[in-house]
Amino acid sequence: MKLGRVACGEMFTVVLDTAGKLYTCGLAEFGQLGNGENGEYFVTASKLAYRNSSKFQRRTKFVKKTDRDKPEAVGLEIPNGENIRFASVACGKNHAVVIEAERGERAKRSEAKRASLDEDENTRDETTPATPANWLQT
């Protein structure tokens, strides 16, 4: 992998290689790694821990929300995610935003309530990369 662009959040890193492929590593607590989970697990009955990623892993699963008015809406996986290439990346404390190279569509990942990028009242953490409908210009 040849590094293209790198962005860092508080305790995670997002990398785009020169081919526009997306990689993440670091703290998984808020879903900012974009792997579909926050990594929570119980060590004991009263102790919670997180599976963090110490190695960069490529992300190829991206989701388009079906109904932004329903917090329980899971969304549809965008087909051929392994073919999506990105041009730019930026991170906040617990979220990342990437811009797709070809169409310029933005895929927001993680913690919607702190990202300050959504126009709706969604306060759930997002653990899977999503393409918010109100950002798309079709």
**How far apart, in whole angstroms, are the C-alpha atoms of residue 26 and residue 8?**
10
Domains along the chain with CATH numbers: 3-135 (2.130.10.30)
Query: β-strands 22-26, 12-17: how paired?
Result: antiparallel
Question: Looking at residue 62, what is its pLDDT?
Answer: 78
Decide which of 34 and 11 is more confident.
11
Exposure letters 63-88 (e unless 16+ CB within 10 A, then b):
bbbeebeeeeeebeebeeeeebebeb
60-119 pLDDT, tens digit per residue, is 887 776 666 665 656 677 788 888 899 999 999 988 888 888 654 444 444 433 333 334
**How far apart, in whole angstroms, are the C-alpha atoms of residue 24 and residue 56?**
5
Question: Looking at residue 107, what is its pLDDT?
Answer: 47
- pLDDT at 40 > cutoff 80: yes
Using pLDDT thresholds of 50, 70 and 90, give the confidence band for residue 23: very high
pTM beyond cutoff 0.75 = no
Question: Looking at residue 109, what is its pLDDT?
Answer: 45
